[in-house]
Structure 1
Amino acid sequence: MACGLLCALLFGAGPAQAADLSLAAAIEAAFANNPELAAVRQELGIAAGERRQAGLMPNPELSWEAEDTRRDSRTTTVMLSQALELGGKRGARIEAAERGQDAAQLELERQALELRADVVAAFHAAARAYAAVELAEQSRQLAQRGLQVAQGRVRAGQVSPIESTRAQVQLAETELQLRRARALRDDNLRQVARLTGLPAEGIDGLGGQALAPGSAPAAADLLGRLAQTPALRLAEMQIRQREADLGAQRAQRIPDLRVSVGSQYSEQERERVNVVGLSMPLPLFDRNQGNVLAASRRADQARDRRNAVELDLRTRTRSALEQWATAANEVESFSQVILPAARTAVDSASRGFEMGKFAFLDVLDAQRTLIDARTRYLEALAAGSEARVAIERIYGASQP
């Protein structure tokens, strides 16, 4: 199913069977179906709407008023007024809205990278869960074989019945581990289904995926690409967005000029005159100083957050690389030395017990050593996979 080379290392099994869902297909399905990513995509349309609104001029205003309600002496005035924005307000709004569009695009890129990393992590966890089920099944078969041998020797009067009891306890423990492994596999498949938007019952297996982490990249190479990461680019863009907002708030300090033209008609004098007017607020008290101060502090806050993001990315990179290197060494040790030796010890102890050279406790000890070694091997693979996913979450896929 999902173990490939992993199963061969653990069990000496042949190549994995063809699977229904590959990692590439899972990532593609997640990008197409994941509702959280779809919600982030909506931000692009929201930002486009805000950009369109920012470029619009104020609407003209039409007014009508009458002086004196008596018909014969009434004077009516019709006015058309237009506010003229001064101080570059419209350009500042457009600049801020365009920076918002850029930030929305980078946020989508960052969220897509996060989703891809989540899918890879869930897929690898499910693949390891498949391998864990096969591991538990292998352990149960070993325990069954041990029970059969112990019962045969008990019936022949060669060992005490307590050896059969020990073998039954070992078999019960492996059956419990098998049930737990199956439950964990099903739960991991549900996580894959949640991220990809595929029905969980429709996923029968996973494509063979190399779970060994491989060699970790050099820290200097990764850190040299730090400025190109979506997270840091987004933090930089948020600084520019806040600075654009500050420019828009500073432009608001200059009052707008309102120009009015119209016509006034007097019923009493039977005469129509043209009316022209100019008006402008006097910025005596409200000069938008509070909003300017707030926008300035938000720009400073964005710079501090950018520095915090860079520090966090550097720390996470170094920690993940260290974990990756440690896990890779452990995986190599288990695959080349520990697992083959533990398997040989089980075979030797089982044959020795059948021939009466070893006690059944020696068989149990060898079996438990092999089971523990396999479990720790899976844990080393998990640590390596987590570290690699942590790097890909920051820098993107390390391989095409």
Structure 2
Amino acid sequence: MPISLRAALMAGALCISGTAVRAEPISLSQALTLGAEQSPRISQAKALADAAEARARQAGVGPNPEIGVTVENFGGTGPYRNFRTSETSLELSQRLELGGKRSARVAVAKAERDFALLAFARAQFDLARDVRVAHAELKAAEDRAVLARDNVGRAQELARTAGLLVEAGRDPPLRKLRADALLAEAQAEQTRSFADMLAARRLLASLIGSNDPELSAGDTSDQPPPPEVAHDVSGLDERLSEAERDAARARIKLAQATAVPDVTASAGVRRFADGRETAVVAGFSIPFPIRDRNRGGIAAAQADSLASEASLAQTRLDAKRARHDAQFAFDAAQMRVEALSGAGATQAEEALRIARAGYAAGKFSLVELIDAQQAYNSAKLLLIEARLDRARAAAALVRANAQ
């Protein structure tokens, strides 16, 4: 085993055993707050929303006027060899947007801004879901590590008792070998559980931006169930898909407006060098749309709109199924937790205590003690997994009900 991994596992063992000073366990609400404040995912989504807001402000700005200077009739032959007969024009021109381009551009930018704001909210809810799951996984990993530590302690005591019984002639030597094998298995499981705990710790730390080497998850068994929402209320994913559809519709109008040519009007003053007279000049220009009528752009925007409609329909189906599945999974996990937390767990613990005392007194065999130990471990692990499944389902349900 690499030295770094061995050191990490030893640190985890000390942390679980309580011989090292442990930091206060982080609660779920604290983890959610840290994640929202420090996650790069949230920073990225916020920056994208700010950029969309800035583009929405910019979309309403019209084109700038242009100023131009034109010098004519110079540098030629005869009387045009110099600037004596030149004509200088100073003109101011302005492109006039036609076809509703500006309003269509503003509508697209506002729709994209709304989409970016909803995407920001989605990033927040997605991170919250991941933090909830990671927090629950760390708590479950810590509980499994504690159980593995306790199993090692019981296995050591069993091996010591078996050795005494063998020395006293009350048990054959094979029982001591079996007890030693159980101790080796328990120590191997302890190593694996500590490695899983360290991996879960790193995952939660990466999500919330924590550098605490002894990060520990607080108990979440008293968390209230996720609130229910009305079935006819659009969820976050549906609203996001609706915003994408609205933006696609707005792009159709923008593509149609782009096909309308703009007019450029100009006005200025012309000065004649030979007599120093001046005159007003004015004009306008307009493209002649015989080649580019933006037909391809309009067709593409219409196709994108059809795709967004289909995407919205699929999102509504997926959102409905996700809510139903998450609610069903949460209810089932809650029932499992309640069943496994009842008399069965208490009875398994009491049976193990009686079996250990009975084996030490010579009233029970090693096989009976092993069966009691396995039944106790199974009950504890099932409860840990049920609580983890409940936390995962609760995270999925909160995300599915996000608005």
**TM-score of the pair, normalised by structure 2:** 0.87
Structure 1's unaligned 5+ residue stretches are 1-16
Q: Within 5 Å, which residues of 2 pair with 1:332-347? A: 332-347=338-353
Q: Secondary structure at the match of 2:342?
A: helix
Q: Secondary structure at the match of 2:341?
A: helix
Deviations 1:131-164 (A, max 9, x none): 1121112212221222122111101001111111
Q: Any conservation in 1 of the 2:152–2:187 contact (CA below 8 Å)? A: yes
Code of the aligned partner of 1:300: L
* 2:231 aligned with 1:224: yes
Equivalent residue for 1:130, pick from 132, 142, 146: 142
Structure 2's unaligned 5+ residue stretches are 1-21, 75-80
Q: Secondary structure at the match of 2:24?
A: coil
Code of the aligned partner of 1:391: L
1:86 — aligned with what? 98
The 2-side partners of 1:33 and 1:236 are apart by 30
Q: Tell me how far 1:42 sits from its aligned partner.
A: 0.4
Deviations 1:224-272 (A, max 9, x none): 1541x22111111111111112211111121111101122233346432
Q: Secondary structure at the match of 1:262?
A: strand
2:219 — aligned with what? 208
2:295 — aligned with what? 289
The 2-side partners of 1:63 and 1:190 are apart by 64
Equivalent residue for 1:68, pick from 64, 73, 77: 73
Equivalent residue for 2:52, pick from 47, 53, 65: 47
Deviations 1:18-59 (A, max 9, x none): 934221111111111111101110012201221122111111
The 1-side partners of 2:350 and 2:334 are apart by 23
2:14 — aligned with what? none
The 1-side partners of 2:243 and 2:225 are apart by 33
The 2-side partners of 1:225 and 1:394 are apart by 13
The 2-side partners of 1:266 and 1:90 are apart by 39
Code of the aligned partner of 1:339: A
The 1-side partners of 2:64 and 2:215 are apart by 61
Q: 1:333 to 1:214 in 2, by over 3 A?
A: farther
Q: Within 5 Å, which residues of 2 pair with 1:103-114? A: 103-114=115-126
Equivalent residue for 1:360, pick from 361, 366, 391: 366
Q: Within 5 Å, which residues of 2 pair with 1:284-323? A: 284-323=290-329
1:10 — aligned with what? none
Q: Which runs of 4+ in 1 moved over 6 A?
A: 213-217
2:380 — aligned with what? 374
Q: 1:385 to 1:204 in 2, by over 3 A?
A: closer
* 2:182 aligned with 1:170: yes
Two-structure CA RMSD over aligned residues (Å): 2.2
2:128 — aligned with what? 116
The 1-side partners of 2:225 and 2:96 are apart by 64
Code of the aligned partner of 2:106: I
Q: Tell me how far 1:373 sits from its aligned partner.
A: 2.4
The 1-side partners of 2:294 and 2:243 are apart by 25
**TM-score of the pair, normalised by structure 1:** 0.87
Residue identity (%): 28
Q: Any conservation in 1 of the 2:140–2:385 contact (CA below 8 Å)? A: no
The 1-side partners of 2:106 and 2:51 are apart by 14
Q: Which moved more, 1:258-267 or 1:268-277?
A: 268-277
Q: Any conservation in 2 of the 1:190–1:200 contact (CA below 8 Å)? A: no
The 2-side partners of 1:289 and 1:337 are apart by 74
The 1-side partners of 2:294 and 2:371 are apart by 78
